[in-house]
């Protein structure tokens, strides 16, 4: 069993265990509340404020065809149905993450996560997750190995990642120097190029041997990953926010249908079928190489937009889709595309027939185009397309340079400066140990984000 432990400072009893089983009937029951949970602790009134309690959640879920989410087992091709022949992964999207974790699966709610203990058969030699491995203990009698990992975050529930495999993985590796969040970069990376202290982290690209992904493709993905990180750091004028992680893994794994990848922080999982030999572009006249490159950029861009800085689903997806297209062009050596107002416009809600779709932001404000996604259905083709059109409309109206400059100012105020302040006091865990104040992770609502973009672009 995979045990996911999360610590929070709450009022409550020192130990409370709950178990949630996601059955077909429960998932299909319209009365199920896919939002936040109210967790009640016994004798909470006897504990002082900010007492630390441990809440253990046991979760078992079945992947539903209409939802595609949860902790799941992916049987490798050509093997038996034995549990030891399966890769175990998390892909905690909205519905099942709300079952698995006692918090809303929303960027507004981001916590420190720690995989404190996971016990696996000793045949599972490849284990990946966001946090750094802290310890390993062989359980000879059970023919198992118990591992523990360091905290990571703060992250939304859907950015927590875990994968383990009963066979070695193909791997290519390198290192990368990531600028540290120190006072010297308060004015931005570009102001102190070459003089900023850096932390060297390992960067890996991994894939199953059964996927038969060519070694040259793995090397190319590694190269694109490093180039994308360096480019995004310059675009945001902010180091890659590691959020207590000390590595960057990109796994090409057997993920779920209809999902190209997920921005699990520093442990990204991409759909392996996207990178197999003979893969053709899904549509739109682009090449498979361009599609693969844009996917990597998209998931890395979320490390700033969505993970480090919390944003509503439609906003973060729209921003990262525009970034993947424009930055993808530059990494592929092509001129950066430009969005024309006519092609980027969005018809007003309810428009039909031959009504003019080319509506400027003056008559159809972008705030009206970005609509809140339906609870439990945040990740749909419709929500992605709507978000992309809305942000493209803004870029077409103001220009990419203004769009990028506005993002840079937002990241500077919401991510760079607060992170420097925490790191100069020893980091998140040090502050927790000494009882210091850890600032809440930054979050901007749709209205606050658009208000900032408008002010900074005027």
CATH at 108:
1.10.390.10
Instruction: With beta carbons less than 8 A apart as the criterion, state whether 156 and 105 touch.
Output: yes
pLDDT-derived band of residue 251, with 50, 70 and 90 as boundaries? very high
Residue 404 confidence (pLDDT) above 70: yes
Assess if residue 26 is contained within a domain: no
Number of folded domains in the chain? Answer: 1
Exposure b/e, 364-382, CB count within 10 A at least 16 = b = bebeebbeebeebebbeee
Inter-CA distances, 370 with 159, 216, 245, 318, 450, Å: 22, 40, 32, 9, 10
| Residue 14 confidence (pLDDT) | 28
CB neighbourhood size of 237 (10 A): 20
Strands 15-22 and 52-61: parallel
Domain span at residue 136?
Answer: 70-277+288-341+371-456
pLDDT-derived band of residue 365, with 50, 70 and 90 as boundaries? low
Mean pLDDT (the chain, rounded)? 78
Assess if residue 46 is contained within a domain: no
329 compared with 97, residue with greater pLDDT: 329
Residue 114 DSSP SS3: strand
Residue 226 confidence (pLDDT) above 90: yes
Give pLDDT tens digits for 296-352: 999 999 999 999 999 988 899 999 999 999 999 999 999 999 988 755 443 333 433
| Residue 1 confidence (pLDDT) | 29
Main-chain dihedrals φ then ψ at residue 100, nearest 5 degrees: -75, -35
Residue 417 confidence (pLDDT) above 90: yes
Assess if residue 45 is contained within a domain: no
Assess if residue 58 is contained within a domain: no
Nearest CA-CA partner of 154 in 268, 6, 44, 337 = 6
Nearest CA-CA partner of 389 in 452, 455, 340 = 340
Give pLDDT tens digits for 17-66: 333 333 333 334 444 454 456 677 788 888 887 777 777 766 555 544 44
Assess if residue 7 is contained within a domain: no
| Burial grade of 260 (CB within 10 A; 0-12, 13-18, 19 or more) | middle
What distance in Å separates the CA atoms of residue 428 and residue 188, rounded to the nearest whole number?
Answer: 22
106 compared with 154, residue with greater pLDDT: 154
10 compared with 135, residue with greater pLDDT: 135
Assess if residue 404 is contained within a domain: yes
* Global confidence as pTM: 0.80
| Residue 375 confidence (pLDDT) | 63
Assess if residue 101 is contained within a domain: yes
Give pLDDT tens digits for 130-170: 999 999 999 999 999 999 999 999 998 888 888 888 889 99
Strands 267-271 and 261-262: antiparallel
């Amino acid at each position: 069993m995979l045990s996911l432990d999360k610590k929070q400072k709450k009022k409550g009893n020192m130990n409370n265990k709950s178990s949630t089983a996601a059955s077909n009937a429960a998932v299909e029951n319209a009365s199920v509340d896919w939002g936040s949970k109210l967790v009640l602790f016994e004798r909470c009134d006897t504990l002082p404020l900010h007492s630390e309690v441990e809440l253990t959640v046991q979760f078992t879920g079945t992947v539903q065809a209409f939802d595609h989410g949860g902790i799941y087992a992916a049987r490798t091709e050509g093997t038996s149905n034995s549990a030891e022949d399966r890769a175990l992964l998390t892909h905690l999207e909205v519905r099942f993450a709300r079952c698995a974790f006692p918090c809303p699966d929303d960027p507004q709610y981001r916590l420190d996560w720690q995989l404190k203990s996971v016990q696996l058969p000793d045949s599972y030699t490849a284990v990946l997750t966001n946090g750094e491995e802290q310890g390993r203990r062989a359980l000879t009698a059970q023919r198992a190995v118990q591992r523990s990992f360091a905290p990571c975050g703060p992250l939304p529930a859907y950015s927590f990642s875990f994968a383990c495999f009963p066979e070695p993985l193909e791997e290519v590796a390198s290192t990368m120097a990531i600028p540290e969040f120190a006072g010297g970069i308060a004015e931005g990376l570009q102001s102190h190029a070459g003089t900023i202290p850096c932390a060297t982290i390992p960067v890996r690209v991994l894939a199953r041997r059964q996927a038969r992904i060519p070694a040259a493709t793995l090397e190319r993905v590694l190269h694109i990953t490093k180039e994308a990180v360096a480019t995004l750091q310059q675009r945001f004028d902010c180091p890659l926010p590691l959020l207590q992680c000390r590595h960057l893994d990109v796994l090409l794994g057997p993920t779920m249908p209809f999902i190209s990848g997920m921005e699990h922080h520093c442990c990204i999982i991409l759909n392996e079928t996207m990178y197999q030999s003979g893969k053709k572009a899904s549509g739109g006249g682009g090449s498979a190489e361009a599609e693969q490159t844009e996917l990597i950029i998209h998931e890395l861009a979320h490390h700033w937009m969505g993970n480090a800085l919390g944003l509503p689903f439609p906003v973060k997806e729209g921003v990262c889709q525009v970034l993947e297209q424009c930055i993808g062009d530059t990494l592929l050596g092509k001129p950066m595309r430009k969005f024309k107002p006519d092609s980027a416009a969005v018809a007003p809600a309810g428009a039909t027939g031959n009504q003019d779709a080319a509506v400027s932001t003056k008559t159809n404000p972008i705030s009206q185009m970005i609509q809140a996604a339906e609870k439990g259905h945040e990740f749909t083709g419709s929500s992605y397309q709507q978000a992309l059109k809305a942000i493209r409309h803004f870029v077409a109206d103001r220009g990419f340079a203004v769009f990028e400059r506005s993002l840079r100012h937002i990241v500077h105020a919401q991510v760079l400066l607060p992170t420097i302040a925490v790191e100069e006091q020893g980091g998140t865990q040090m502050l927790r140990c000494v009882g210091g104040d850890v600032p809440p992770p930054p979050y901007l609502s749709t209205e606050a984000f658009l208000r900032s973009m408008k002010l900074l672009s005027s």
